[in-house]
Amino acid sequence: MSAAPILRVEALSKRFRGLLAISDVSFAVEPGSITSVIGPNGAGKSTLFNLVTGYLAPTNGTVSFKERPITGLATNRIAELGVARAFQIARPFRDLSVAENVRIGALFGKAGARDVAATTANALALAGMAHLATEPASVLTVGQLRHLEVARAIATRADLLLADEPCAGLNPTETAAMIDVLRRIRASGVTVVLVEHDMPSVMEVSDRVLVLDAGRLIADGAPAEVSKNPQVIAAYLGTPD
């Protein structure tokens, strides 16, 4: 890795009673990249995001953001440092306009001076939503709601965006539009970690792919390399080992 990693996860584990949802996972994320986390349902992808954002405390291991340990910090503190998450289920304020919803992200999020109007406008543009700015959130389609959630996360001026299945339930056209948004976000200098099921999209947009299976990291590499990995193919096809 050429630059210092923006995110480093070391020997991370999370146990829910008898279940080891994340098991001794280590990796580092290069700044300015799109890293996708893939794996079957229940593999631990959302739990990994919950551990990075401080929503859950790990059983073991550490998470560092910009080489600073963030394990055990409160979620709002981690957000103030510049980590944002776009949730799988977008929950906007339906009576507010699109711009007002995004402005909420700009008012919170990363600490420090900011120009709320410019930050909001930039986030709307990156998410391809400038033309919808004055519409009430209640009129948005499912696809547009996903874009709104991403815009709100970007408006926090995060340096790292965690996107958990932003394309789930979207049609191919909407999926392609979301992938374009993620590319623009990367081009703007924001690092993206993506959980996504649509393999063609993952292979096309990712600089790197991490594969989780039953909480363990079973592969980590370039998309072409990972897609040929027999362990990965077995995890997806459910081949008994």
Which residues make up the interface to ligand ADP (CB under 6 A)? Answer: 16, 19, 21, 39, 41-47
Interacting stretch for Mg ion, rule CB under 5 A, among 25-33, 39-47, 53-61, 90-98? 39-47
| Cβ nearer to Mg ion, comparing 45 with 85 | 45
83 closest CA partner among 96, 94, 99, 70: 70
Q: Which residue is nearest to Mg ion (CB)?
A: 46
Using CB under 5 A as the binding criterion, the count of chain residues that bind Mg ion stands at 2
Rounded to a whole number of angstroms, the minimum distance from the CB of residue 14 to ligand ADP is 8
Rounded to a whole number of angstroms, the minimum distance from the CB of residue 174 to ligand ADP is 21
| Cβ nearer to ligand ADP, comparing 46 with 206 | 46
| Cβ nearer to Mg ion, comparing 50 with 119 | 50
Among 23, 36, 46, 156, indicate the residue that binds Mg ion (CB under 5 A).
46
| Cβ nearer to Mg ion, comparing 46 with 206 | 46
143 closest CA partner among 168, 164, 106: 168
CB 86 within 8 A of CB 164: yes
Rounded to a whole number of angstroms, the minimum distance from the CB of residue 88 to Mg ion is 7
CB 146 within 8 A of CB 137: no
Rounded to a whole number of angstroms, the minimum distance from the CB of residue 22 to Mg ion is 12
Q: Which residues contact 173 (CB under 8 A, 6 or more apart)?
A: none
> Read out DSSP for 143-169?
HHHHHHHHHHHHTTT-SEEEEESTTTT
Rounded to a whole number of angstroms, the minimum distance from the CB of residue 2 to ligand ADP is 30
| Cβ nearer to Mg ion, comparing 8 with 45 | 45
CB atoms under 10 Å from CB of 146, counted, come to 29
122 sits near Mg ion (criterion: CB under 5 A): no
**d(C-alpha 33, C-alpha 77), whole Å:** 24
Alpha helices for the chain (secondary structure H):
45-52, 75-81, 98-107, 116-126, 142-154, 172-187, 199-205, 223-227, 230-237
36 binds, among Mg ion, ligand ADP, none (CB under 5 to 8 A by kind): none
